[in-house]
A = this chain, B = another copy of it.
Amino acid sequence: MLDALIGRRLANREQGEQKIGWIAGVPAMGLDGLGSSSYGPEAALTILMPLGAASLAWIGWVIAPIVALLAVLYFSYRQTILAYPSNGGAYTVAKENLGPMASLLAAAALMIDYVLNVAVGISAGVGALTSSVPGLQPWTLELCLGILAVVAIANLRGTREAGWLFALPTYLFLLCFLGLIGWGLVQMVASGGHPHPVIAPPPLGHTMEAAGLWLLMHAFASGCTAMTGVEAVSNGVGAFKEPVVRNAHATLTVICVSLGLLLAGIAAVAHGYGLGAMDQTAAAYQSVLSQLAGAVAGRGVIYYVAMASLLAVLCLSANTSFVGFPRICRLVALDDYLPRGFAVADRRLVFSVGVIFLTVTAGGLLVAFGGITDHLIPLFAIGAFLTFTVSQVGMVAHWRQQQGRNAGRLAINALGAVTTFFALLVIGAAKFVEGAWIVVLAVPATIAILLLIRRYYDRLGRGMAATVPFALDDVDRPTVLVAYEERNRMTDRALQFAMTLSPDVLAVHLLRLSGPEQEEEIARLHDAFERDIAQPVAARGLTPPRLVQIPAPYREIEGPVLELVERIDEATPGRAVAILIPELALNHWWERLLHGRRAQRLRAALVAHAGPRLMIITSPWRRGLTP
């Protein structure tokens, strides 16, 4: 069943076939960045709404710095990819250039960012869907979880095979909206700056206030959410096939140029056609992109195709996180800051622990917020710009340590660091009350957990390190105890195994009855044991096993057995003790209902309370085999 759902297992040598080129790279890593072009400008225009018609005059001044920042980041990340062709995420850059604490800061910011991205991306997409088809509104949460499941399973199968699922909407989205924007610009030029919209956009509101610096900074901060996702390529360089750096650069270029064209184009067309943001809670609400498409091309086929591709891009933008999150978790786990399960590739060469962890966390967020996560959007940009800043500072430190003439490269990354840090401050200040304080709390909490995990592994490693030479104090054969309920083939084999290990074998029987019936039971078992087992063995000249019968006043076996082991330990110090527990191999799942877990409970109790010279032997018995 697992094969049907997720696919056949893959050998290590197939790993090369799972890597991708730039054409598949753009959808795999760019959905987040490209999709944020839909809510970035809209968020900025929403802040500018009180300016009324004057918002059109200012939108350019807000978008332009964002596009410039994007350009700076583009050139900075080109260099990062070049310097770190296996993985150039902020984590690695910080770890190698700034030290462990900075790397944990980057890791925490990235991980939180990825989880938020999944939750917000999916819910934004579903929210857009339910505003087109209001009948689906009551199923918001179910739709969100359903899409989450689809994306999770696609990722458990491995990126390569699910590639087409993401490529189609991505390239369709780019085609539609770059086309719409281009046609809109043509119309604007052709009509001398006053194009005639096919469907008139709603009128803008009255001017309530004048544009102030605080308002513009706030709009800039909201618009910066358009840049989340740009770091995905440098995080995931390890996914590309040869030539790795060229493919990664090509992917980054396509994503950044497209995003820049989209942002600038949206601003220009909005200015030209007079589009503004609308109140999301009012009736007849239309998003900015919806107004744009309607104004440029009307409500024809193109409109619905474009909106559908937008919906798909938003919903699937979660996929960028599903590619990035397991990889960052793997890097962090390899440094012992996360449980080791995150670093292991599963049967499909996917880091499935990371995928599942992300699914559960994002799913929890969706359930907690009922699939409506408008409150989380402000938190977005904080984490992303924190990551940008740490990455850029790390690259500056990198170029300083490198030999050779890197002044130009250093300057680019320095500019990036300064600008992103400034943007981070602006965003933090503007959004603090709205929700940024949550990130301010979550990042240190995550770092604390990572440090605790590392401390655990360090202690464990120190405790287990073989500091003393390999010593053999005692090679005496151990005393072997055999859990003996009654004579049957299973216990016969257990005793046979025991006798290959040592001449000192004790069969341990737990007395069930009490009172006078107990005397009878003891005598009967003793006689049967002597006759069936001890005498045949002695006749062969070997030391026969001895039967020990112990009372169990509380009806459980663990206590009496542990006591017996202690007494043997005191009597023969330095000698090992082995406890042999017969276990029936079960052929069907329903057999578990018909058998207790006494063997497992006894073993668990022995493991938990074992002295240093105790070993526990399982003697499995499979039915149908002829020994």
Which residue numbers of A lie inside 8 Å of B, CB to CB?
Answer: 9-13, 339-341, 344-347, 453, 456-457, 460, 463-466, 469-472, 474-478, 487-493, 495-497, 499-502, 514, 532-533, 536-537, 540, 542, 553-556, 576, 578, 580, 583, 585, 591, 593-596, 603, 606-608, 610-627
Given contacts A345-B555, A466-B487, A585-B608, contact A472 B616 (CB under 8 A): no
Would A623 and B542 count as touching, CB distance under 8 A? no
State A610–B586 Cα separation when bound (angstroms).
12
Would A501 and B488 count as touching, CB distance under 8 A? no
Which of B10, B340, B553, B607 is in CB contact (< 8 Å) with A12? Answer: B553
Would A470 and B492 count as touching, CB distance under 8 A? yes
Which of B596, B608, B618, B621 is in CB contact (< 8 Å) with A340? Answer: B596
Would A470 and B488 count as touching, CB distance under 8 A? no
Contacts of A499 in B (CB 8 A): 472, 475
Given contacts A496-B472, A554-B11, A616-B617, contact A594 B344 (CB under 8 A): no
5 tightest CB-CB pairs across the interface, nearest first? A612-B627, A464-B488, A607-B620, A616-B618, A610-B620
Would A470 and B536 count as touching, CB distance under 8 A? yes
Minimal Cβ-Cβ distance residue in B for A621: B464
State A547–B298 Cα separation when bound (angstroms).
75
State A555–B456 Cα separation when bound (angstroms).
26
Would B611 and A625 count as touching, CB distance under 8 A? yes
Minimal Cβ-Cβ distance residue in B for A463: B623
Would B465 and A477 count as touching, CB distance under 8 A? no
Name 24 A/B residue pairs within 8 A (Cβ), A-sorted: A12-B514, A12-B554, A13-B553, A340-B594, A456-B591, A456-B594, A460-B623, A464-B490, A465-B488, A466-B487, A472-B499, A472-B542, A475-B500, A476-B500, A497-B576, A497-B615, A501-B501, A585-B607, A606-B620, A607-B618, A612-B622, A612-B627, A613-B627, A617-B618
Which of B471, B540, B624 is in CB contact (< 8 Å) with A472? Answer: B540
Report how many copies the assembly holds: 2
In the assembled complex, how far is the CB of residue A588 from the closest CB belonging to chain B, in whole angstroms? Answer: 10
Contacts of A346 in B (CB 8 A): 555
Contacts of A341 in B (CB 8 A): 596
State A347–B612 Cα separation when bound (angstroms).
30
Would B554 and A9 count as touching, CB distance under 8 A? yes
Contacts of A596 in B (CB 8 A): 340-341, 344
Given contacts A456-B594, A554-B11, contact A615 B619 (CB under 8 A): yes
Q: Given A340-B596, A464-B623, A471-B496, 5 other A-B contacts at CB below 8 A?
A: A11-B553, A344-B596, A472-B537, A475-B499, A615-B619
Contacts of A621 in B (CB 8 A): 464
In the assembled complex, how far is the CB of residue A552 from the closest CB belonging to chain B, in whole angstroms? Answer: 8
State A314–B621 Cα separation when bound (angstroms).
51
Minimal Cβ-Cβ distance residue in B for A532: B470
Would B612 and A554 count as touching, CB distance under 8 A? no
State A13–B515 Cα separation when bound (angstroms).
9
Contacts of A542 in B (CB 8 A): 472, 475
Would B463 and A492 count as touching, CB distance under 8 A? no
State A499–B11 Cα separation when bound (angstroms).
35
State A162–B618 Cα separation when bound (angstroms).
42
Would B488 and A466 count as touching, CB distance under 8 A? yes
Would A622 and B593 count as touching, CB distance under 8 A? no
Contacts of A469 in B (CB 8 A): 532, 536
